[in-house]
Amino acid sequence: MKRLIISIIFCVVCTKVNATTPFTPKVFKNDSWVFVAGFAWPDEDGKVLIIRTAKKTSLLSLDELGIKQIGEWSTAGSRWYQNSIGYVTSLRIKGMDSKSHLRVFYFRDRNGRESIVDLNSNKLIDPKTILKRADLDKLTISKAASLLKSNNPQDRQTAAIHLGQLGASKYLQELTNLLNDKATYTQISGKEEKTVYYVKEAAERAIQLLNSKILPNKAIDSNKK
């Protein structure tokens, strides 16, 4: 029943947002306990993210997420969630009881900036206070890797971006396979047009990052325990 109710809420929210914004909101998580989606454009109160759980609904702005707005809002600049990864998980922070866990929404943007929201208080958690940080990184790597074979080329681009930044050397072969990805868009500058193989370019950058980390230092390996 919960899943049905939340699915209905999702449809209503999407209809409302699409009617007033130029972009479709992104669903980060949708399960029986929590529904999380990003607004593509701030609402009248400057909120960009809705988090609806079985207990309450929260609306957060870029400032509340710790994301700094650069310049004026524009068609491109409004896509604060583009190529981002978001999911709900549980973690422990310093000073907590050994048996206690916080339910959080973890958000990582395309530049590697993190916003970790305590779903009980709606407050940001300082990443430096997280215990077993390596476990959180492994989970993020796993979430990114799950997008590698997506039918959506932007998902594959997202996977490449985050796997490279996180030093996930385990997926070097899969990233190498993306060098043959045919997904493109046309970039127009004046009278000139350029075909951009954006998934391939993201894979190239990721491979460069992995190689630079593998040689002088050991990269993060999601197989480590």
Amino acid in the structure at residue 224: K
pLDDT tens for 139-177 read 999 999 999 999 999 999 999 999 999 999 999 999 999
Of the candidates 64, 76, 21, which has an alpha carbon nearest to the alpha carbon of residue 44? 21
pLDDT at 205 (0 to 100)? 96
pLDDT at 71 (0 to 100)? 53
Q: Is 87 helix (H, G, I), strand (E, B) or coil?
A: strand
Query: Which run of H or of E encompasses 216?
Result: none
Class of domain 133-225: mainly alpha
Burial of 68 per CB tally in 10 Å (0-12, 13-18, 19+): exposed
pLDDT tens for 29-46 read 888 888 899 887 888 888
pTM: 0.80
Of the candidates 95, 110, 106, which has an alpha carbon nearest to the alpha carbon of residue 138? 106
In angstroms and rounded to an integer, the radius of gyration of the C-alpha atoms of the chain is 19
Which residues contact residue 217 at a Cβ distance below 8 angstroms, ignoring those fewer than 6 apart?
none
pLDDT tens for 106-139 read 999 999 999 999 998 889 999 999 998 999 999 9
Which residues contact residue 12 at a Cβ distance below 8 angstroms, ignoring those fewer than 6 apart?
none
Domain boundaries along the sequence of the chain: 133-225
pLDDT at 77 over 80: no
CB neighbours (10 Å) of residue 188? 8
Q: Is 12 helix (H, G, I), strand (E, B) or coil?
A: helix
Of the candidates 88, 86, 85, 83, which has an alpha carbon nearest to the alpha carbon of residue 101? 88
Q: Is 66 helix (H, G, I), strand (E, B) or coil?
A: coil
pLDDT at 76 over 70: no
pLDDT at 223 over 60: no
pLDDT tens for 194-218 read 888 899 999 999 999 999 876 544 4
